[in-house]
Structure 1
Amino acid sequence: MTAAPQLLDEMCHLTAQALPPMETTERFRVLKLLGEGSYGRVVLAVHRERGTPMALKLFPRGSTPLLSFLREYNLALAFCAHPSLTRALGIAYATPSHYVFAQQAALFGDLYDVIPPEVGVAEDCCQRVVSQLCGALSHLHALGFVHRDVKPENVFLCDAACGRVQLGDFGMVKPRGTRVQEVWYSSPYCPPEAEVARGSQDGAAEGVGDTEGGAKKKPRVWASVEPSTDSWALGVLSYAMLTGSHPWAQTASDCKAYLRYRDWFEASKGASDEWAEPKDDGTRDRLIGDASSTPVAPQFACFTPLARSFFQSLLDPRPRLRGRPEDGLGYLEGAWLTEEERARLEAEREKNRGKGGGRGQR
């Protein structure tokens, strides 16, 4: 374990002994609900004495282990100095029913709210957001942490034009190398290496035990937490921003859309050395050429060779060879959409103008 995760553990033990009891209304005036989920809810509040707006994140005590709450709070407080990460504000307390901490408030919602379905956002807006997320994830990875939950709902807007965004929600963060139970879920954001856990059951002891129908339970699969998980999610998020849709419904061996992408990927990389280590004598220009030299998966045909290489880097089915978020920065200085696709999307946006913000793809 690297220094930062060790320090985080020490901070959690110290703050566990000094978490003050307090009622939210004593210090804050709650204005509105900002969001809610399985973790609890987030409300916009104003500090009664200072008049400072902030977001309060409330975790039900009955379903939230104290250590989990303290890990998220201390991570956001001490290790999220990057401008594209949501920071905690040094206020944490316990009410009779909730654990609570204060964080920077995102007054313009989240990325999900501004991605029009089947249309997406403008290319320059997408690249602006991707640039910031590359920096945020690179910062976390350099400290030894993996976010593990990159998606539009966790990217918060600091202005209406996505000029500044912040990646937040650190409840799933783990130190790199941590052994966790692998979980497969039906989503394009789930990386392909997780499919080994498809159908596994919680509580299956070493894969032994019968279900009611007599079938054997699939054994639990344990895996190491790695930054490549965030790279995959960043690639899918970038696609969703550009198109307002997803490249496939789920990352699975029985999903036709994913298989078409996998076939294109393998053909462009060379079937004979499908799982070989990449050679170091190439350049980005050569990779761009490779990505466009074979028939392209239909859902990627609207992109330029530059964008296709960007996606093939982050969406490499081989986690060990998957590109890092910071590698994505090298693909930002050029067009990602073909002229035809750009014109089509602009026409669609013109039709939708004046109808209010679109809803993105969850």
Structure 2
Amino acid sequence: MLQIQATAAKELDELCFLSAQSMSSLNVSQHFQMVKLLGEGSYGKVMLAVHKKQGTPMALKFSPRKSTSLTSFLREYNLSLCYCTHPSLTRALGIFFSTPSYYVFAQQAGLYGDLYSVIVSEVGVDEHCVQRVMSQLSGAVTHLHSLGFVHRDIKPENIFLCDRSCSWVKLGDFGLTRAIGTTVRAVWYESPFCTPEVEIAKEERQSEEIEEEEKEDIWITVEPSIDSWALGVLIYCLLTGCFPWEESTHDDRGYHKYKAWFDREAEKEDKTRKVEWRDKEDFDGYTIMEENQRDNPPPSQFEGLSPLVMTLLKELLHPEPKHRGSPEEILSYLGGPWLVQTAREEKRKAEEAENEAKKIREKGGVEEEILREGRGER
């Protein structure tokens, strides 16, 4: 695996070098018909366009030359073109060029907007839709990790819709994607998606005791656990229409409550390993999860989430990056209830089905007794 990752990173560097030799300049209006603005930010802008000769719709990503290095532009373009072969990764279309003000490349267009546009505030998205989306993202991110890359910017705005029902989504925007093992500046940004292990960067920057010129850059190693954290926050966001905390720092109230709950869970698990207080084979996994949640109720912001998804979040949102679960683990939690309301409804339906089956069995027993009496059997 390490060899594959190193090879992919080296190949990407070589592709960037070669493509730099063939960069051409184009007049955008001569070749493309601009349709509408799809997105805009510090990175530049993305326009929905149609190729005038071919009639093909595509998204053109414009990166300002003043703030974007040619190397970073070509890295994103070549990574999207050559490595994003999973159906839930946005792929470049082989068109790249420059203008006097921008570097530009073409990619598959998400014609139905992004995931952020369908999240209802304080409500979220339909539970089945959430599981459908996360199933696709699990595969996409796992594929990216297997090639040796970490996305580093998973959020609703970077997940694009290929239809209105979220049956097909694509993760895009690879501007921050880097090879596993690469060292990058630990820049703290105020967001629930920012991992807690780089909080030291924020504290260092805000420290008044150190003179500005004496401050040193803090570097962190790029690891897949960064994406696992973001996927955990995304699951919460989709299920609730909110964020679990504003930022993952010790002085954020929401994160502090979660961390305290997590620590109690970890302590309880340690005790359970030491004391075999029950034969777990006699209990199904969901029953054990329910009992654990009763013993240590999750923080108030997690109210309404089922024990099943809380167990998954505990894996993905592990404060220690080396113990964080992988995106692939999401697949093990699909199919079961992720909301308490769904769990109750499923339990009610199961009880009704069992009662109906019991009635049928009892009726069958009575009919058998009548037949026996008719045959003179006792």
Q: Same fold (TM over 0.5)?
A: yes
Residue 290 of structure 1 and its aligned partner are, at CA, apart by 7.4
CA distance in 2, matches of 1:231, 1:96: 39
CA distance in 2, matches of 1:145, 1:172: 10
Is the contact made by 1:269 and 1:290 (CA closer than 8 Å) also made in structure 2?
A: no
Amino acid at match of 1:134: S
2:313 pairs with 1:311: yes
Residue 209 of structure 1 and its aligned partner are, at CA, apart by 5.5
CA distance in 2, matches of 1:341, 1:24: 53
CA distance in 1, matches of 2:253, 2:89: 36
Amino acid at match of 1:326: E
- CA change 1:149–1:290 in 2 (3 A) is farther
- Structure 2 alignment gaps of length 5 or more: 274-279, 346-378
1:162 partner SS: coil
CA distance in 2, matches of 1:56, 1:46: 9
Is the contact made by 1:106 and 1:157 (CA closer than 8 Å) also made in structure 2?
A: yes
2:224 pairs with 1:222: no
Residue 52 of structure 1 and its aligned partner are, at CA, apart by 0.6
Is the contact made by 1:231 and 1:314 (CA closer than 8 Å) also made in structure 2?
A: yes
Write the deviation string for residues 67-113 of structure 1: whole angstroms up to 9, x where unpaired.
Answer: 11100000000000000000000001111221110000001111111
TM-score when scaled to structure 2? Answer: 0.82
Residue 304 of structure 1 and its aligned partner are, at CA, apart by 1.3
2:258 pairs with 1:261: yes
- Structure 1 alignment gaps of length 5 or more: 277-281, 344-362
Amino acid at match of 2:140: A
- CA change 1:340–1:137 in 2 (3 A) is closer
Name which of 46, 53, 64 aligns with 1:49. 53
Q: Which residue of 1 aligns with 2:70?
A: 66
- CA change 1:219–1:29 in 2 (3 A) is same
Q: Which residue of 2 aligns with 1:158?
A: 162
Residue 200 of structure 1 and its aligned partner are, at CA, apart by 2.9
Is the contact made by 1:268 and 1:290 (CA closer than 8 Å) also made in structure 2?
A: no
- CA change 1:244–1:22 in 2 (3 A) is same
CA distance in 1, matches of 2:77, 2:36: 21
Identity fraction in percent:
52
Q: Which residue of 1 aligns with 2:89?
A: 85
Is the contact made by 1:302 and 1:341 (CA closer than 8 Å) also made in structure 2?
A: no
CA distance in 2, matches of 1:229, 1:15: 29
Residue 221 of structure 1 and its aligned partner are, at CA, apart by 1.7
Q: Which moved more, 1:260-269 or 1:80-89?
A: 260-269
2:247 pairs with 1:250: yes
CA distance in 2, matches of 1:223, 1:290: 38
Name which of 294, 297, 320 aligns with 1:295. 297
Is the contact made by 1:195 and 1:252 (CA closer than 8 Å) also made in structure 2?
A: yes
Is the contact made by 1:130 and 1:238 (CA closer than 8 Å) also made in structure 2?
A: yes
2:243 partner SS: coil
CA RMSD of aligned residues (A): 2.6
Q: Which residue of 1 aligns with 2:141?
A: 137
Amino acid at match of 1:241: L
Residue 301 of structure 1 and its aligned partner are, at CA, apart by 2.7
TM-score when scaled to structure 1? Answer: 0.85
Write the deviation string for residues 215-238 of structure 1: whole angstroms up to 9, x where unpaired.
Answer: x96543211001101000110011
Q: Which residue of 1 aligns with 2:325?
A: 323
1:33 partner SS: strand
Q: Which residue of 2 aligns with 1:234?
A: 231
1:198 partner SS: helix
2:202 pairs with 1:198: yes
Write the deviation string for residues 306-346 of structure 1: whole angstroms up to 9, x where unpaired.
Answer: 11101101001110000000111101120010128999xxx
Residue 259 of structure 1 and its aligned partner are, at CA, apart by 1.3
1:270 partner SS: helix
Amino acid at match of 1:232: W
Amino acid at match of 1:332: L
- CA change 1:217–1:328 in 2 (3 A) is farther
Residue 288 of structure 1 and its aligned partner are, at CA, apart by 3.5
CA distance in 2, matches of 1:192, 1:290: 29
Amino acid at match of 2:220: A
Q: Which moved more, 1:181-190 or 1:315-324?
A: 181-190
Write the deviation string for residues 154-187 of structure 1: whole angstroms up to 9, x where unpaired.
Answer: 0001111111100000000010111111122221
More helix, by proportion: 2
Name which of 15, 21, 39 aligns with 1:17. 21
Amino acid at match of 1:230: D
Q: Which residue of 1 aligns with 2:285?
A: 285
Is the contact made by 2:306 and 2:343 (CA closer than 8 Å) also made in structure 1?
A: no
Is the contact made by 1:291 and 1:308 (CA closer than 8 Å) also made in structure 2?
A: no
Is the contact made by 1:201 and 1:219 (CA closer than 8 Å) also made in structure 2?
A: no
Q: Which residue of 1 aligns with 2:360?
A: none
Is the contact made by 2:337 and 2:343 (CA closer than 8 Å) also made in structure 1?
A: no
Q: Which residue of 1 aligns with 2:7?
A: 3
Residue 12 of structure 1 and its aligned partner are, at CA, apart by 0.1
2:189 pairs with 1:185: yes
Residue 265 of structure 1 and its aligned partner are, at CA, apart by 1.0
